[in-house]
Amino acid sequence: MNKSKKIGFIGLGAMGKPMALNLLKAGYSVLAFDINQNMVDEIAKQGAVPCTSSGEVAVAADVMITSLPNAGIVEVVMVGSEGIFSQCKAGTTIIDMSSVSPSSTLKMAALAKPLGIDYVDAPVSGGTKGAEAGTLTIMVGADDAVFEQIKPILEVIGSDIYHVGATGTGDAVKIVNNLMLGCNMAILAEALILGVKCGLKVETMQQIISKSSGRSYVMDAKLEKFIMKDSFEGGFAMDLQHKDLGLALEAGKENNIPLPMTALATQIFESGKASGLGREDMSAIIKVWEKITNVKVTGGE
Ligand code: NAD
């Protein structure tokens, strides 16, 4: 995409700010807004044009990107009285990179179409580290022509860009992925507790199972880095994992698909949130099992 095009960025949080910074570094002109003024001030120091509302961004931008906490907020930012839809010009492309349900995206896309706005879902995986490094996996739901038009922008933000299919399919693959992530984490936690209770060292289980059929991404990514260190800062917040399981349940309900494992995992993470672990990495769920069973796994060798 032509770098003279102006990119509007709404939502400068843990993911949005580093993504917007990477666009600035790549030479794009970025107009930025967040309800948290500090975030706007910080990115303005790096060269972004500070704005006082989403609408102000929308008036001037050619392409809009949103990275917001949830679908309710995305919908208000899009169609609220001062929202993006009422302010942006026909021909604008809106790329929503938040994790939301496919049905919410389809609703927004249907409202955008008569206004001449292309609405794209492009949720991400890879966490804040991936956002900072510009190595996110991006799952895009868009028409072919729109995807080709926005691909150069996405290539600045991520390293693995997938055009999944039509609008809503990016969100769908994201919630399927995170359903699996959450269920696998819940399984890892209870399995480790049983192993230690049966007299195994955590290190022994790691060594053998990582070469056996019980291995998983969460074992690679979470066991040594968080659980064995008994340190749960950074990583992927339990609150977000819980939210994503809820999105999967919502999609299951809308599509008449039973998701019993997902429902159970949601309740397990609900208990983690109730224990005050919501802001820690999702692998902190093991601390709930430790408390119930009086078995110590964290920090274990
Ligand atoms: P965050 O809470 O750090 O950032 C969200 C930002 O949106 C905040 O700065 C907040 O002030 C701003 N905001 C809220 N309401 C607003 C409004 N009405 N107008 C403008 N700005 C508003 O969240 P995050 O971790 O950056 O996540 C953003 C999205 O990416 C979420 O949908 C999340 O599920 C998804 N996600 C996060 C991660 C991760 O590791 N953090 C990974 C993948 C996907």
- State the CB neighbour count (10 A cutoff) for residue 252: 17
Residue 149 φ then ψ, to 5°: -70, -40
Look at residue 1 in the predicted model and tell me its pLDDT: 60
Residue 126 φ then ψ, to 5°: 130, -10
Centre of ligand 1 to C-alpha 128, Å, is 11
Helices and strands of the chain, counted as H and E runs: 14, 9
225 is catalytic: no
Both structure tokens of 76: 């208000």
pLDDT in tens, the chain (301 residues): 667 789 999 999 999 999 999 999 999 999 999 999 999 999 999 999 999 999 999 999 999 999 999 999 999 999 988 889 999 999 999 999 999 999 999 999 999 999 999 999 999 999 999 999 999 999 999 999 999 999 999 999 999 999 999 999 999 999 999 999 999 999 999 999 999 999 999 999 999 999 999 999 999 999 999 999 999 998 899 999 999 999 999 999 999 999 999 999 999 999 999 999 999 999 999 999 999 999 999 997 6
Cα separation, 63 vs 169, whole angstroms: 20
Q: What is the DSSP letter of 89?
A: P
Cα separation, 157 vs 155, whole angstroms: 5
Q: What is the DSSP string of 264-288?
A: HHHHHHHHHHHTT-TTSBGGGGHHH
Q: Which one of 174, 222, 243, 287 is the catalytic residue?
A: 174
Both structure tokens of 271: 């208990």
Q: For atom 30 of ligand 1, which residue has the closest CA?
A: 98
Q: What is the DSSP string of 145-213?
A: HHHHHHHHHHHHHEEEEEEEESTTHHHHHHHHHHHHHHHHHHHHHHHHHHHHHTT--HHHHHHHHTTST
Look at residue 4 in the predicted model and tell me its pLDDT: 76
This prediction's pTM? 0.94
Pocket of ligand 1 (CB under 6 A): 10-16, 33-36, 39, 54, 67-69, 73, 77, 98-99, 124-125, 127-128, 236, 240
The Cα-based distances of 226 to 109, 114, 244, 281, 284 in angstroms read: 39, 48, 21, 8, 8
Which one of 57, 68, 78, 101 would you pick to mutate in the ligand 1 pocket, going by the greatest count of ligand atoms within 8 A of its CB? 68
The Cα-based distances of 280 to 123, 145, 275 in angstroms read: 22, 40, 11
The Cα-based distances of 274 to 60, 231, 238, 249, 268 in angstroms read: 43, 19, 11, 20, 10
Cα 75 → chain centroid: 17
Residue with tokens 């967040």: 34
